[in-house]
Structure 1
Amino acid sequence: MTTTSDPGTSPRSPGPASTRPTPAGAVRRAGRPRQPLTALLVATDAVCVLAVVLLLGHGDPAVVFVSTSALVVNAVAGLYRPRMDLSVLDDLPLLVGSSIASLGVAAIAEGALGVGDVDRSTVWAALAQTVLVLSARALVYALRIRHRVAGRVAVRTLVVGCGGLGAQLVEHLRSREQGLLPIGFIDDDPRLPAVERPLPVLGGIADLERLVVRHRVDVVLIAYSNVPEMVVVDVLRGCRGLAVEIFAVPRFWQVTTTHRLLQSVRGVPLVQLRRPAFRAATWPCKRVVDVVASALGLVVALPVLVLCAALVRREVGPGPLFRQERVGLDGRTFALLKLRTMRPDAASDVRWNAHDDAGPVGGWLRRLSLDELPQLWNVLRGDMSLVGPRPERPHFVERFTLDYDDYLWRHRVPVGVTGWAQVHGLRGDTSISERARFDNFYVENWSLWLDVKILLRTVGQVLRAAGR
């Protein structure tokens, strides 16, 4: 992060109460910030595609395929993401690469499906579309910059850190070329004296969420400040429900190599923090996958479940199914289902490690993770996901929250049957701080592919009998 404190020596304080995760419904779950430039670029490219198809396509399926697939390739390449610096020359290499990739996809489709005929006319159509898109973008960017300088595009912005760098950013933004309108600083201990501040200090770091809502802020810039790093991290995580984009000046920014994923304000690089997982466009797909996979899994695993339940009943007596209260998304509790692997009198909500009380059948079920199969019903009900941080009992959640700074932040996404920590061997009596670190990495870096990777590694562990 971007504070002056040493990241390795930040105090182990949970931070202000307002920065801690809150129950569902307590956070204003706003949608994404308005992105008019993104919508305008998509519409412009779509018009260019339509023009090429109508004027040069002549009913050729290959031209239609190449032109329309270019929109998808452009999106994957990040050509529709909002940016502060608008330059058609920066887009040129990506647009050319997009056209070449679209031709390659069309050639593959022709060979595999017999769709269209990629020939010279198709190549000319792709070239014409690239030129047309570049020309249209040059016009859009010129108009956009003109509107910015005229003040018709002014995104309300807060700057965290009232020091030399924060003042420098404010001074740069006053040119209006980036379309950002700074309205004030946020800092607990401003370095600049009051007479040297270009803008007022509106509050402390713990007030960030409140000030974003009160002043209708769309962008937050994180510069250097005297606030301990972990406090800033907690506050930023606490803003996860707000429709706001957050940028941070990286450490040693003077020697940071720039690339297309970095924004910049007149030579000062800015790293855009990733949106929370639930604001990703693919997030709804996670629930769809959970429902379909858990339903199919229950059907396929039913004979195994019946056999395991019969073995458990024979070993521990009646009641092979075990219910235990666990903590899930946003601190909500639910009844987690498992196959009973211990005697009823050995189960406890406050005993951390009771694995030695498992009998031969119970130990076998644990090693193969078959005792977790009933949790597919929890997934189908919506209590859990297939992949996510493992749920824990309320007693230990309360205890670990006090002992480990990052523990409670695991509950920003649904808990899971398996997780990033578990596939790295953090099962049973292992380090809680490491688990929290791996779980929060998963939350910050979630993607559908990461879920798939975790599921595949979980299958490998089950086949190796690597359970607890």
Structure 2
Amino acid sequence: MIKDNQKTFNKFHGILDLIALFIAYSLSYVLRFIIFKPDKGFLPWSTMLHYFVYLLPAYCLIYYSCNLYTPKRSKGQKMELLNILKSNIIGTIYFILVLYIFKKDINVSRSFITIFFAINITIMFLYRRVLVKVLHSIRKHGFNLKHILIVGYSRTAEGYIDRIRANPQWGYHVLGILDDNKEEGEVYDRVKVLGDTSKLTELLAENDIDEIAITLSISEYAKLEDLVTACEKSGVHTLFIPDYNNIIPTRPYIEDLNGLPIINIRRVPLSNTFNKGIKRCIDIFGALVALLIFSIPMLLVTIAIKTTSKGPLIYSQVRIGLHNKEFKMFKFRSMETQTESAEKKAWTTSNDPRVTPIGKFIRKTSIDELPQLFNVLRGEMSLIGPRPERPYFVEKFKEEIPRYMIKHQVRPGLTGWAQVNGYRGDTSIRKRIDHDLYYIENWTLNLDIKILFLTFFKGFINKNAY
């Protein structure tokens, strides 16, 4: 069975890791003490080999504790690299500790440790990627497969099968589906319904099943406890794939209340006081710097607007912001003056006659948005965040688009993840909301910096602005 294959593979993998460790250590010695000969402090290979003996068992434990031997069927290379980095950082700390404990007249240079750190990470990552490619090729040809039985026909079951079909390199083979509401013999993408859930115990006893995937529809969760009990009695590894992924995010935030798990429907990092404080400080500093940088362009736009059309310089429009509160968002006026009732329900269209000649330019280049830096200083907006919408469209979209109102759990921004990915102006509202939700649930300072960087290169010129 696949469990035995995995154990054998892990042993083989562990041996390869130790060989890679020795190669990296040897190459580091050659580079440091043979090719780039030190003026003093030369160490013979026998001395360095003595230290390697202490590293060998420690690195075995470190690699294991850093999840480098978990199944890699569907694991991404980013997670693999992260685990390799983590294990080598811990290993380097241990190496330095060993040198400190056994120091006498011997001094191993920092350059050797740095070279070893870099080479070991590089060798480990490259050879593991080659190994993964080989395994993927083997699985595509029908070997080393993991046999899976699905219990419960639902949209989740279909999604699970779709992903398995799209990734044959994972090596998953679906034996069939058990379901109480489908006729035996029905087929979804070459996977047959084998019968109802009462057949589970019989199939577990007769078939060579590696894994059970429980994909009940949410209306059938009353059966879940009995099914899990039956699976655990057989000793087969069991997965539960919930049918509420459209309600709860992929990585929900779970709290423990004295042993009672609590799932937060939406994890919003910016609800944390520290995160909010850091972001607010950056917003204030960034807005002040931006006002200094763009002061001359703003002055020139002011003169251009005043000399080319009648009306106010700054145009304010009611938008919905943090916690669904209304605020007046500032812009340079780019259109002819019109009544509030006329403008609040209308999108700007291509060749819109209301747009002034200078307005076309400042809308295309997003210069009309610069007065919103004052909204940032007032605390109504942030530099980065979902773009705010008018009340009329908020009322409209919240009924049409699921989870639309979640965007109001954070301050709206001058630019955002949706905008740098091309969803500005007359583009898909659903796609825009999907990107806004991603930002809200995955916010980090690094993501803000990335969005700001991308805004400078592809966010200012808006091809969808009319």
Q: Where on the TM-score scale, by shorter chain, does this alignment land: which range?
A: 0.3 to 0.5
1 or 2 for the larger relative contact order (CA 8 Å, sep ≥6)?
Answer: 1
Q: Which is greater in Rg? A: 2
Q: Which has the higher helix share?
A: 2
The TM-score with structure 2 as length reference comes to: 0.47
